[in-house]
Structure 1
Amino acid sequence: MTDGAVVESARGQTRARIIRVAADLLAQGGRQAVTTRSVAAGAGVQAPTIYRLFGDKDGLLDAVAEHGFQSYLDEKVIRPTGVDPVDDLRAGWDLHIGFGLANPALYALMYGDPRPPAASPANAQAFRVLRAHVRRVAEVGRLRVGEEHAVNLVHASGCGTVLTLLAMPEEHRDPALSELAREAVIAAITTDAPTLQAPGPVGAAAALRAVVDETENLTVAERGVLKEWLDRITAG
């Protein structure tokens, strides 16, 4: 191993140790417990090391959120897709709710601040998982609204459900609330049968929009125009 590789390996180990310490502090005491001083003491490093590796405290918190959510994805969410993509969407909802209730401080870190998904690597990854679920529903012609509308509705409803449940004393949480919210959202965005079997342009547009990038006999520019038209149709 070259000297450069040794340095890089040591840097990676230090970074991982800092993230683990910060994650433990977050779980135990919430966001306010994750101070530069407490993390540096727990990880056995000087404060400048944290700034050098993460830029600032927000960079460290983003790394903690990404690590925590990625660990959850590796253990729970990445699973073989089922026959029914709507059932997979239900399962994804349940996993999201379970993740939030099991990791309240981490969830608040990811979703408590109204930031665009791209501003947080963990949030961006969560959106990619959700978009994949919605895309499969669209591909089989069972989406009654545009993909972006569906993604945003599921996301908003799921986050609202988790934050509402977290605000309740644990012993007073209504276990039926998540299921009722989930089924209301699914009823709003999906159909019982493929929309291609029913009249109306929206379902057909949503299904075509889901697979338009697979069309090889159109140029990139033509696909872009077609996407714009299809988005306008599904937007109503």
Structure 2
Amino acid sequence: MHKLNDRAMLLANHVRNIVMELQNIQKGDKSKLDIDPFVTSALTQQDFSEIFPRFSLSRQQAINVLTPNSTSRMNSTSSCLLLLLVACISFATASVWSDCGSKLAKIDAVKISGCDDSAKECVLKRNTNVSIHVEFTTNTAVSKLNTVVHGVMMGMPVPFPLAHPNACEDTGLACPLKGNEKYSYTAIMPVLKSYPKVNVDVKWELQNPKTEDLICLLIPAKIQ
């Protein structure tokens, strides 16, 4: 279960309430639309930039949408609010990782040690080990699997060496894997002291002998 962003969920709930009030007004109830001060004071510009990125709304523009000054704007405002609600829910359920092209399985859950699922990036401390736990459901049978890890910087993938690349040993997986089955995979990634302190996207893949991706994870990270 992904951890929800409390501030985004609070805004989403508030938008739901506004939509309900707008619907009542459209039905003939002319009661005053009550806008919670939370909208105009609690959220920062950064919050609005994160929650409403697909609409390119500034804090003030979003406030203007949420505080209509006449009933003639209710229809258009109601439509905007419904779109904003979708954005809020999408933002609230966002994860630190993303699927970068899983073909032979569906990723169900991911847990990275020391990294909150609601974080923007994972902090990888040098000279430590990071564990990655993935739960997935296969689409087809797989005979063998190899773990392939890259650090992607400025679009260039750099290999992360692994002492044990065989994904079917000491990971919780026993190959061959059956199709349409749920599996759990756990691996350890060493963050070497020699690694530079940089921002990097960690690309974690489990590949079959044809180098097709069973799963592919992209994890934004900062090496410290």
TM-score bracket, normalised by the shorter chain, equals under 0.3
Q: Determine which structure has the larger helix proportion and give its number.
A: 1
Q: Give the alignment's TM-score, normalised by structure 2.
A: 0.28
Which is bigger in relative contact order (C-alpha 8 A, separation at least 6)? 2
Larger radius of gyration: 2
Q: Determine which structure has the larger strand proportion and give its number.
A: 2
